[in-house]
Amino acid sequence: MNQFSYMRVTSKESAIAALAKDKAAMFLAGGTNLVDLMKSGVTSPERLVDINNVPLATIEETKTGLRIGALAKNTAVAENALVIKHFPLLSQALKAGASPQLRNMATVGGNMMQRTRCHYFYDSALPCNKRSPGSGCGAIGGFTRMHAIFGASDKCIAVHPSDMCVALTALDAVITVTGPKGERKIPFGDFHRLPGDTPEQDNNLQRGELIIAVDIPFNQLAAHTHYLKVRDRASYAFALVSVGAAMQIRGGNIADVRLAMGGVAHKPWRLKEAEAWLKEKSATEENFRKAASMAMANAKSQGGNAFKLTLAPNTIVEALKTAAAQA
Amino acid sequence: MDDQLKNEEHTGTSRRSFLKKSSLITALALTPDTVIKAAEKGLDEQIASAIETMPLSLTINGVKQSVRIEPRVTLLDLLRERLHLTGTKKGCDHGQCGACTVHVDGQRVNSCLTLALTTEGRNVTTIEGLADGDNLHPMQEAFLEHDGFQCGYCTPGQIMSAVCCIREGHANTPDEVREYMSGNICRCGAYSNIVDAIMDVKQGGKKV
């Protein structure tokens, strides 16, 4: 790991000021991804600004939903009674990610900021446009089992690794960030981005901005919810494909539905067309199958991940069936 | 304890003296831009200060410890290399195996991904702090009784994780134990005996 200097801050204001002063500084929260990236030589900040003592860890009910502080630990959110009651999809997704130890460390804001687990990104001996812009993509034409089937570019085919973000995308969460120019809100679906020609940018957070909270608006989707994650071992592995499904079912018909996927794109992948088609249809396997085919319309294999073209629609159908079957 | 402090003092001093005495070229090869900038001004003292250590006070197994460390030292390396608490093991050093699991304020964490300075003022418990004197912790006894290991390298992490698995209320069924112990890898494959040991402690009802 490179040498760096370290400072602790206890307020949002001092955190923002510290980053504004030092262009080579980064925020440190749970550290589960950043410290790992530093050990691997992928990221080499000259200064870490430890924000763990900034009071941003509360989970509270507002008039319109739940507000989750950016420094709330993944375990605290997953086990929170309000989260389980109103947004079981978020709790399920969090529990499907990482290990209990890592969830005790990792924060909500840090989870959003985590970087791809693409092996070519982690291995600094190999070219990677995300790590070293312009160096090329080692993954294209390489070992692509874990890679994207949606929204990839000829510069990058990496996927976003988070489970939590799949749920937050489906739940129409809104992120609040603050920075030198003040606060702003970012709809969750607009936070992460597709690689295009600038895969080094994972998201639309500006340099110096700090994530402070995520708001999730109340909905009627808690009764029929399922997060289904398919991976190479039963637990503690990144998704090959995951699906977050939540429905409101009235008299056998789908009154409202949300669908999002993980492990398939550079960002959590919301299936809005399939959602729109499913609305007011009956909750049958046949309809789930049609919606899943619709969702796969623009999917493209990279070779090694061709199996995802079959696995992804099957996972969508299975997640919807399981969600619908809940009493 | 005194020996530990002496050791820590000794290590700290020699490292600092080394840096001060070493040639500029050696320092340049090892150090980041901020230091190189200081070196360009020909200020040796600034080189030493740029790699300055920082104070850290925390409680480990009930004993207050005050050390000076570089910011990049992980909790795992502080425990093993500075305080000589080598019960906590370094497996992958990347948060993938769980061998380094310790408790920080009662929560199980991967000490390899925890920068030590982030534990200022916290209470850390390692495998050395689990037993009550010569009386083993119920989980340690259960691992012995059920042969919950072969080579034993992952065992301290398994036991620290297992204790929290029960405390968190996640040891109600063997399946739940398997899920909530998934952050601890055992290359010998002692999993079935580990699950038996945890279920035994859980069903025995002893305080963990």
For A53-99, write each residue's pLDDT tens digit: 999 999 999 999 999 999 999 999 999 999 999 999 999 999 999 99
Q: What residues of chain A have any CB closer than 8 angstroms to a CB in chain B?
A: 1-6, 8, 24, 28, 31-32, 35-36, 38-40, 44, 46, 48, 50, 52, 75, 98-102, 104-105, 234-236
Residue with the larger pLDDT of the pair A264 and B23: A264
Residue B97 in domain: no
- In chain B, the percentage of residues whose pLDDT exceeds 70 is 75
pLDDT higher than threshold 90 for residue A219: yes
Q: Which two tokens stand for residue A315?
A: 């996972």
- The C-alpha torsion from A145 through A149 and A152 to A154, rounded to 10°, is 60
String of b and e for A61-95 (b: at least 16 CB within 10 Å)?
eeeebbbbbbbbbbbbbbbbeebeebbbbbbbbbb
Position B136 pLDDT exceeds 80 = yes
Q: Are A91 and A228 in contact (CB under 8 A)?
A: no
Mean pLDDT (whole number) for B77-99: 98
pLDDT at B21 over 70: no
Residue A75 with chain B: CB contacts under 8 Å? 107
Last residue of one domain, picked from the residues A53, A78, A93:
A53
B68 Cβ contact partners less than 8 Å away, ≥ 6 residues apart: B8, B12, B53, B54, B55, B56
Q: How far apart are the C-alpha atoms of B66 and B80, rounded to whole Å?
A: 15
- Would you call A104 and B107 a contact, using CB atoms and an 8 Å cutoff? yes
**Is position A111 within any domain?**
no
In the predicted model, is pLDDT for residue B38 greater than 60? no
Mean pLDDT value of segment A116-134: 97
Alpha helical stretches, state H, A106-233: 108-113, 119-122, 164-170
Encoded tokens for B9: 């003092």
Residue B164 lies in a domain: yes
Does pLDDT of A271 surpass 90? yes
Out of B71, B93, B113, closest to residue A4 by CB: B71
ipTM score for this prediction? 0.97
> Rounded to an integer, what distance in angstroms lies between the CA atom of residue A62 and that of residue B184?
38
Cβ atoms within 10 A of the Cβ of A227, count? 29
Q: In degrees rounded to 5, what are phi and psi of residue A177?
A: -120, 155
Determine the average pLDDT of the residues in B167-193.
Answer: 98
Residue labelled with tokens 């259960």: B142
Do B145 and B167 lie in one domain? The reply is: yes
CATH code at A238?
3.30.390.50
Query: What range does the domain containing A252 cover?
Result: 224-325
Q: Chain A: give the shortest CA distance to residue B29, in Å.
A: 11
Examine the domain organization and report whether B119 and B146 are in the same domain: no
Mutate which: A99, A119, A122, A231, vs B, most B CBs within 10 A: A99
Out of A52, A75, A105, closest to residue B113 by CB: A105
For residue range A149-178, list pLDDT tens digits in order.
999 999 999 999 999 999 999 999 999 999
Looking at every residue in chain B, the average pLDDT score rounds to 85
Q: Which residues of A touch B113 (CB under 8 A)?
A: 31-32, 35-36, 102, 105
Provide, as residue numbers in chain A, all residues whose Cβ is less than 8 Å from the Cβ of B70: 3
Partners of A24 on chain B (C-beta within 8 Å) are 33
Q: Is residue B83 part of a domain?
A: yes
Q: Which of B75, B115, B122 to mutate to test the interface with A (most CBs of A within 10 A)?
A: B115
B22: distance to nearest CA of chain A, Å?
17
For A2, which residue in chain B has the nearest alpha carbon? B32
Q: Do B21 and B48 lie in a common domain?
A: yes
CB contact (8 A) between residue B110 and residue A1: no
Quickly list DSSP for B69-84: E-TT-BHHHIIIIIS-
**Cα four-point dihedral sign B109, B115, B116, B120:** negative
In 3D space, the residue among B81, B166, B172, B92 whose CA is nearest the CA of residue B130 turns out to be B166
Q: B69, B93, B107, B178: best mutation site toward chain A, by most A Cβ within 10 Å?
A: B107
What pLDDT is stored for residue B32 in this prediction? 53
Write the pLDDT tens digit of every residue in A179-198: 999 999 999 999 999 999 99
Whether residue A207 lies inside any domain: the answer is: no
Do the chains contact at B113 and A36, CB–CB below 8 Å?
A: yes
In-domain check, residue A10: yes
Q: Say whether both B115 and B153 belong to one domain.
A: no
pLDDT of residue B37: 54
CA–CA dist A313, B34 (Å, integer)? 51
Range of the domain at B25: 1-52
Nearest by CB: B32 against A4, A28, A75:
A4
The SS3 call for residue A66 is: strand
pLDDT confidence of residue A156 = 98
The pair of three-digit structure tokens given for residue B120, joined into one six-digit string: 């200022």
For A45, which residue in chain B has the nearest alpha carbon?
Answer: B32
Q: Is residue A49 part of a domain?
A: yes
Measure in Å the smallest separation between the Cα of A228 and chain B Cα atoms: 15
* pLDDT of residue A296 exceeding 80: yes
Contact B154, B89 (CB under 8 A): yes
DSSP-H helix ranges across chain B: 2-21, 24-30, 33-40, 44-50, 75-77, 138-145, 155-167, 174-180, 191-204
> What average pLDDT does the segment A94-119 reach?
98
Asked if A283 and A193 touch (Cβ cutoff 8 Å), the reply is no
The helix or strand, by DSSP H or E, that contains position A49, with its residue range, turns out to be strand A47-50
Contact residues, chain A, for B92 at CB < 8 Å: none
**Number of domains, chain B:** 3
User: Is A268 inside a domain boundary?
Assistant: yes
Q: Is the pLDDT of residue A39 over 70?
A: yes
Average pLDDT over residues B72-83: 98
Same domain membership, residue B67 and residue B36:
no
Q: What is the mean pLDDT of residues A105-118?
A: 98
Q: A46, B32: Cβ pair inside 8 Å?
A: yes
Angstrom CA distances, B187 to A256, A315, B111, stand at: 46, 31, 20
Q: Spell out which residues of chain B touch residue A5, defining contact as CB-CB under 8 Å.
A: 34, 50, 71
Q: Which residue has better confidence, A125 or B12? A: A125
Which of B72, B170, B181 is the best substitution to test chain A (most A C-beta atoms within 10 A)?
B72
Distance CA A192, CA A325 (A): 32
**Is the same domain home to B148 and B197?**
yes
Q: In the numeric block, which tokens belong to residue A200?
A: 């080094």
* CA distances (Å), origin A306, targets A54, A137, B175: 45, 19, 32
CB contact under 8 A, A6 and B74: no
Q: Could you tell me if residue A238 is inside a domain?
A: yes
Q: CATH no. for residue A40?
A: 3.30.43.10
* Average pLDDT of the residues in B125-148: 97
In a domain, B99, yes or no: no
pLDDT of residue B52: 82
Domain for residue A316, yes or no? Answer: yes
CB A258 within 8 Å of CB A273? no
Q: What are phi and psi of B26, to 5 degrees?
A: -60, -45
Tally of domains within chain A:
2
**Cross-chain Cβ contact A102/B110 below 8 Å:** yes
- Residue ending a domain, among A18, A35, A53, is A53
**Same domain for B118 and B175:** no
Give the residues across from A66 on adjacent strands.
A61, A216
The per-residue pLDDT for B34 is: 53
User: Distances in Å between the alpha carbon of B147 and those of A29, B99, B128?
Assistant: 38, 18, 20
* Amino acid B51: pLDDT: 64
Contact B115 A24 (CB under 8 A): no
Is the same domain home to B82 and B120?
yes
Whether A36 is in a domain gets the answer yes
The CA-CA-CA angle for residues B174, B151, B86, to 5°, reads 100
> What number is the average pLDDT over the span B174-186?
98
> B31, B108, B185: which to substitute to probe chain A, counting the most A Cβ within 10 Å?
B108
pLDDT tens track for A10-37: 999 999 999 999 999 999 999 999 999 9
pLDDT at B24: 41
Task: Give me the pLDDT at residue A327, please.
Answer: 75
Residue B143 lies in a domain: yes
Closest among A259, A229, A230, A231 to A245, alpha carbons compared: A259
